[in-house]
Amino acid sequence: MADARRVISVIVINEASVLSRVTDLFSGRGYNIESLTVAPVPDSKYSRLTIVTSGSIRVSEQIVKQLHKLIPILKVYEHADLVEKEMALVKFPVSENISDIGMLAAAYNGKIVNVGEETIIVMVADEPKRVSNFLNLVKRYHPKEIVRSGSVALER
């Protein structure tokens, strides 16, 4: 069966062990999670997880059903039509062409966010695919460190 990329959002009660309950469903089936973000939902006792995974449709559907079954889980969204964004921070040596890097970042909704004596840090925020493109493009400027945030998503 074809593997498809999936984005799932899960609203959970913000309590100890709830994250393990969710991730156990993936690990127990030998499924890798590509990215996972968690943060509290404002003014509530809930948190929102955004999970990006890929796998057979049958197993993904089963995981979604099992997610529904977990006691501290309020809602599970399997996104079809969504807005998805991801952030990345990249550190470059100051010896690189800083203005080029700044221009490129701007094309990906980003900018230079920190300038130090030896390094600069650039932030971009865009669709995950475009973030990957940016990271590819800037390889020539010898990035020293890269961190991606993982996706967050909202249904349109």
Q: Binding residues for other proteins, per CB under 8 A?
A: 12-13, 16-17, 20-21, 24, 28, 62, 65-66, 68-69, 71-74
Please, what is the minimum distance in Å from the beta carbon of residue 38 to other proteins?
16
CB 50 within 8 A of CB 153: yes
Q: What is the DSSP letter of 98?
A: H
Of the candidates 154, 155, 143, 152, the residue with the CA atom closest to the CA atom of residue 51: 152
Helices (H) and strands (E) in the chain, counts: 4, 8
Which of 65, 140 has the CB closer to other proteins?
65
- Cβ 6 to other proteins, closest distance in Å? 17
Strand partners, 3: 56
Nearer to other proteins, 62 or 132 (CB): 62
Task: Provide the minimum distance between the beta carbon of 66 and other proteins in the complex, in angstroms, as a whole number.
Answer: 6
* Complex with other proteins: residue 74 or 112, whichever CB lies closer: 74
Least spacing, CB of residue 81 vs other proteins, in Å: 23
Output the CA torsion 155→110→5→22 (10° steps). Answer: -70
The residue (of 69 and 156) whose beta carbon lies closer to other proteins is 69
